[in-house]
Amino acid sequence: MAIRYNCLKTDDAARLGRLHTPHGVVETPAFMPVGTVGTVKGIYPFQVEESGSRILLSNTYHLALRPGDERVARLGGLHRFMNWPHAILTDSGGYQVFSLAERRVVTDQGVQFRSHLDGSLIDLTPEKAVQIQENLGSDIAMVLDVCPPAGCPTAEMDEAIRRTLLWAKRCQNAATRVDQALFAIVQGGLDLNARAQCAAELVAMDFPGYALGGFSVGESPESMAQALPACASFLPVEKPRYLMGVGRPQDLIAGMAAGIDMFDCVLPTRNGRNASAYTATGEVRMRNARHRDDPSPLENGCPCPCCTQYSRAYLHHLFAAEEMLGPMLLSLHNLWFYQRIMREARQAIANDCFHTWAGEWLVRLEKTP
């Protein structure tokens, strides 16, 4: 087995655990920063590590197009290529094909599309998705799935689930690396019956981990939060559970409350690049002129390199002058903020006070200063 998951403790549905991977142990619930093309934008790997991250996500679709998965394999795999010694999860490329690619044609065989980079025609099959991820050498690979938008017609959803199941089995059959775990993806949108059925079929195939796909695809955060407890309950307790592409801090908290173990999202780095910072007292927009003369740190008491060494006035100045250090520092702070939420959550589960902790954070996160 490439990975091993131990649930150490539960607090209601929330789970404290350890995920053992070929590249080290990950404390769960865990947040995975996104390194789309093999770099967490604007953050050095040692800084990703210092933030508390022990697993990151990289995008198969992007890496397959450029620099190419075979090239990455020749160069020693993705860990070595990007200088990241800890665990890596790669998505299957499915989601990106459905959100980025042009002139997409989906059949039972796979999906044909044109690259968003150069328009070249590409065939992605379940077997190919596994092969690419084996070339990249991630610790956790994802099956190729069909990810329909929120609120799509039932027939489209049924077809998406049918193909997702078909492809999951073909991915499982295609996988050859003993040092890579393949996670299945449950689709079904907000229809709990569809989710239950899709999950049951995938559970019967016995994957080492399960993901919930098809969230954060246009539905309201409330309807996602409502659906999550049931969706998580359809998954085996002895396997890790991953909620794909989610989300805001409050969404992570809702996910953890539902028993999710793994999350990924571009928000901390994307917002950081756009001068928007997370704090315990709400979002701070660093371009706002009110920070111009403020000698205080972005967030009082935050132990991150941005908050311990720089003032709001300086951060504001960096964004006003369009200096690289602004996006670098704010991305870093936001990643620390996310990992602080995760660390606190794990502590709260350990201390049997997850719901109190979660409630306090949700109040803080909803009020903007």
Catalytic residues: 91, 264
Please tell me the distance from the alpha carbon of residue 339 to that of residue 345, in angstroms, as a whole number.
Answer: 10
- Residues whose CB is less than 8 angstroms from the CB of residue 271 and which lie 6 or more positions away in sequence, other chains included: 277, 278, 330, 334
In this complex, which beta carbon is closest to a second copy, that of residue 5 or of residue 81? Answer: 81
Minimal distance, residue 198 CB to a second copy, in Å: 34
Tokens encoding 231: 């969706």
Minimal distance, residue 340 CB to a second copy, in Å: 21
Minimal distance, residue 341 CB to a second copy, in Å: 25
Interacting residues with a second copy (CB under 8 A): 37-39, 41-42, 44-45, 62, 66-67, 71, 74-76, 81-83, 292-293, 295, 309-311, 313-314, 316-318, 320-321, 323-325, 327-328
Minimal distance, residue 138 CB to a second copy, in Å: 16
Tokens encoding 30: 């865990």
* In the block, residue with structure tokens 């994802």: 142
In this complex, which beta carbon is closest to a second copy, that of residue 161 or of residue 306? Answer: 306
Rg (CA), the chain: 20
Minimal distance, residue 42 CB to a second copy, in Å: 4
Which residue from 214, 107, 100 is spatially nearest to 150, judged by alpha carbons? 214
Neighbours of 176 (CB within 10 A): 9
Please tell me the distance from the alpha carbon of residue 76 to that of residue 52, in angstroms, as a whole number.
Answer: 25
